[in-house]
Amino acid sequence: MNTAYLLIGGNLGDRFFYLSEAKKQIEIKCGNIVAQSSIYETAAWGITEQPNFLNQVLVLETMYAPEELLQQLLSIEEKMGRVRNIKLGPRTIDIDILLIDDQIIHTNTLSVPHPALTQRKFALIPLDEVAGDLIHPVEKKSIHQLLLNCTDVLDVQKKSANA
């Protein structure tokens, strides 16, 4: 059994619906969601001329190996209308693997821990909410310490409690 920390988010259409539907599909296809953060809103990171994103962290217990989990998550994104035509562009749903246990993985298709995790408050804040004491396997610091040291200036606002 693996524990995966996922970041789900999107900025097109009914954003709350897409987060809810992604959670349902993840539970059906990937395993048991054992914890979830509040939902947060933030301006787009990277390409800023697009709608604000909603994001949430899920803690998932899964029997899938990391690469298999990634394939399941990509199929959920595709089923939910995710189109990958602009890197960092607008999307209905995005499901990122932030961490899996204390594993360090670098393949052509998967990097765990997520390579940009330490630079993005919109990922660190909800992750801190559900796993602040978790130690990043590369940085050897807790998620809470990484959040305190993060230089990202984007404003992250809580939109709802654990939903």
Dump pLDDT digits (tens) for 14-60: 999 999 999 999 999 999 999 999 999 998 877 778 899 999 999 99
| Catalytically active residues, by annotation | 82, 91, 94, 96
Q: What is the pLDDT of residue 84?
A: 65
Which CATH number goes with the domain that contains 48?
Answer: 3.30.70.560
Range 116-126 average pLDDT: 96
**How many domains in the chain?**
1
Of the chain, the percentage scoring pLDDT greater than 70 comes to 93
Q: What is the pLDDT of residue 15?
A: 95
What does the DSSP assignment read for the chain?
-EEEEEEEEE-SSSHHHHHHHHHHHHHHHT-EEEEE--EEEEPPSSS-SSPPEEEEEEEEEESS-HHHHHHHHHHHHHHTT---SSTT---S-EEEEEEETT--EE-SS-EES-TTGGG-HHHHHHHHHHHTTPBPTTT-SBHHHHHHH------EEEEES--
Mean pLDDT over each residue of the chain, to the nearest integer: 93
Q: What is the pLDDT of residue 160?
A: 84
Q: What is the pLDDT of residue 50?
A: 87
The whole domain housing 116 covers 2-160
Q: What is the pLDDT of residue 163?
A: 54
Q: What is the pLDDT of residue 2?
A: 97
- What does the pLDDT look like over 52-109, one tens digit per residue? 999 999 999 999 999 999 999 999 999 987 666 666 668 889 999 999 999 999 999 9
Determine if the peptide bond prior to 51 is cis (ω within 30°).
no
